[in-house]
Amino acid sequence: MIRKILDLHIHSKYSRACSPGLELPSIAAACEVRGINIVATSDFTHPAWFSHMQDFLIEDTSGIYKLKDGSSSTRFILGTELSCIKKHKNKTSRIHVCVFAPNLEVVEKFNNRLEEMGFNLKSDGRPILGLPVKELLKIMLEIDERMVMIPAHAWTPWFGIFGSKGGYDTLEEAFEELAPHIFAIETGLSSDPIMNWRLSMLDNITLISNSDAHSCAKLGREANVMQFNSDSEVAYDEIMRILRENDKEKFLYTIEFYPEEGKYHYDGHRDCNFVCAPDKTEKLKGICPKCKKPLVIGVENRVHELSDRSIEDIEKIRSKKIPYKSLVPLPEIIADVFGCGVNTKKVKAEYDSLIEKIGNEFYILIEADLKLIEKNTSKQIAIAVDRVRKGKIFVKPGYDGEFGIVKVFGDDKDRGLGKQV
């Protein structure tokens, strides 16, 4: 069996607030360092990016693409994110979805249809479409039944399918008779599988995790690990079959951000520097004690609102679910050990050294022997990787667009030797 790591939701340089370095060759190179084998092309509705894709990509196996010059082992699947904003059922729904296509010809047909409908695809790599998600799905299926829609970051307040600000309470409410075509959701950085297991309505829905990267440095923050019988089996239809059937033999596990680090985990007001857990929000009746305006309700609270299972109930069904591993990115681990910023030259030098000596980042975080890590860096970094593997971390939850803070060590005493020389 061949194991592959997939990141199915990223962006290109044509999406707003994204790095200009997000081009296919640089994405491919960064994926090799990270340990990602298959990555979404992103943004295929943008005319300039689609032209870039045509210039650089050639089909490898069915529906899976590679760089024409053969310079990278990274493979690409045709996937993008779209924003659907439209009044639906007496409210304005704001939903982001991931859309996948089996080949470039289908992408071109899809893009042409959207342009014929008057949508401005040049405005953004993730364009805004004045359509309810159900109508977009209907268009996709008319063009090619193999096109797939997966609601993106399902719980984020403003643009999640279940979001507190513009979402729905069920998939059926959003998609009506087309709901059976939605067989997976992306859990997003602010939730993890165990939170989603609290909802019995998601028992037959496959949970996937992706980075939603806006720069190469963020690739693989979350990912999916699958296995295949051979390289020739690594194809678009097989990947979608695994997701559609929730194939636990082929879908091994997801790689997760600690959800508390996500920027919408808890409730609060960023402008007021106020954050609180759901139980406190209830006591406050949803009102910020500083500005007296409604709080932005985060993912933890929204999951609790829609859930019908307790934590105790989850333990009874855990064995039936696709498992997951929660990780902290290696640069953050190194920075915590050194007691300095994650973007410093010191952290980058140590990171590059570890990659060169041991292997890609996911191998180091998940599989590498701790003695091998210690031999090639320091005892503190080896201890830190072990703590992350065991979930022994410290977390300050994110809220209202503010990322949370994850620390491997609580303080210099806990770190053991203080700052690394």
Domain CATH number, residue 13: 3.20.20.140
What phi and psi, each to the nearest 5 degrees, are found at residue 30?
Answer: -65, -35
Q: Predicted confidence band at 44 (pLDDT cuts at 50, 70, 90)?
A: very high
Q: How much of the chain, in percent, has pLDDT values that exceed 90?
A: 95
Q: How does 279-307 read in b/e, with b if 16+ C-beta sit within 10 Å?
A: eebeeeeeebeeeeeebbbbbbbbbeebb
Q: What rounded mean pLDDT belongs to the chain?
A: 95
pLDDT at 415: 52
| Whether 199 contacts 161, CB under 8 Å | no
Q: Is the pLDDT of residue 91 over 90?
A: no
- Do 310 and 347 lie in a common domain? no
Summarize the confidence of residues 335-356 as an average pLDDT: 97
- Is residue 421 in a domain? no
| Whether 110 contacts 45, CB under 8 Å | yes
DSSP state of 295: P
Q: Is the pLDDT of residue 420 over 90?
A: no
Distance in angstroms (rounded) separating the CA atoms of residues 275 and 321: 32
Summarize the confidence of residues 321-347 as an average pLDDT: 97
Count how many domains the chain has: 2
Threshold 0.85, pTM exceeds: yes
- Do 322 and 410 lie in a common domain? no
Q: How much of the chain, in percent, has pLDDT values that exceed 70?
A: 97
The model's pLDDT over 264-297, given as tens digits with 9 standing for 90+, comes to 999 999 999 999 999 999 999 999 999 999 999 9
Give the range of the structural domain holding residue 393, as residue numbers without chain letter. Answer: 329-415
- Do 38 and 146 lie in a common domain? yes
pLDDT at 318: 95
- Is residue 63 in a domain? yes
- End of a domain among 326, 357, 377? 326
- Do 171 and 279 lie in a common domain? yes
pLDDT at 414: 56
| Whether 166 contacts 90, CB under 8 Å | no
- Do 318 and 366 lie in a common domain? no
Highest mean pLDDT among 71-80, 84-93, 306-315: 71-80
Distance in angstroms (rounded) separating the CA atoms of residues 154 and 162: 6
- Is residue 341 in a domain? yes
Report DSSP letters for 195-256, one per residue.
HHTT-GGGTTSEEE----BSSGGGTTSSEEEEEESSGGG-SHHHHHHHHHTT-TTTEEEEEE
pLDDT at 311: 85
Segment (H or E) for 417 = none
- Do 369 and 283 lie in a common domain? no
Q: Is the pLDDT of residue 171 over 50?
A: yes
Distance in angstroms (rounded) separating the CA atoms of residues 184 and 205: 5
Task: Return the CA Rg of the chain.
Answer: 21
* DSSP H helices in 358-418: 361-362, 370-376, 379-390, 412-415
- Is residue 24 in a domain? yes
| Whether 184 contacts 243, CB under 8 Å | yes
| Whether 140 contacts 182, CB under 8 Å | no
Assigned token pair, 26:
């640089």
- Do 16 and 144 lie in a common domain? yes
- Do 261 and 376 lie in a common domain? no
- End of a domain among 309, 326, 343? 326
Q: Which amino acid is located at 387 in the chain? A: R
Summarize the confidence of residues 103-115 as an average pLDDT: 98
Residue with tokens 């923050």, as numbered in its chain: 221
Summarize the confidence of residues 47-73 as an average pLDDT: 98
Q: Which amino acid is located at 112 in the chain? A: N
- Is residue 179 in a domain? yes
Beta strands in 42-168 (DSSP E): 57-59, 64-67, 75-77, 79-88, 91-100, 128-129, 148-151
Instruction: Using alpha carbons, select from 283, 282, 318 the residue that is nearest to residue 301.
Output: 282
More confident residue, 415 or 246: 246
Q: Predicted confidence band at 192 (pLDDT cuts at 50, 70, 90)?
A: very high
Summarize the confidence of residues 183-188 as an average pLDDT: 98
- Do 313 and 176 lie in a common domain? yes
Distance in angstroms (rounded) separating the CA atoms of residues 97 and 214: 16
- End of a domain among 305, 326, 347? 326
pLDDT at 120: 97
- Do 287 and 401 lie in a common domain? no
- Do 268 and 383 lie in a common domain? no
The model's pLDDT over 209-229, given as tens digits with 9 standing for 90+, comes to 999 999 999 999 999 999 999
- Do 390 and 275 lie in a common domain? no
Summarize the confidence of residues 10-15 as an average pLDDT: 98
| Whether 266 contacts 276, CB under 8 Å | yes
Which residues neighbour 302 within 8 Å (Cβ) at sequence distance 6 or greater?
155, 157, 162, 163, 164
> Cβ–Cβ contacts within 10 Å for residue 416, how many?
12
- Strand duo 128-129 + 148-151: pairing: unpaired
Q: Predicted confidence band at 419 (pLDDT cuts at 50, 70, 90)?
A: very low
- Is residue 420 in a domain? no
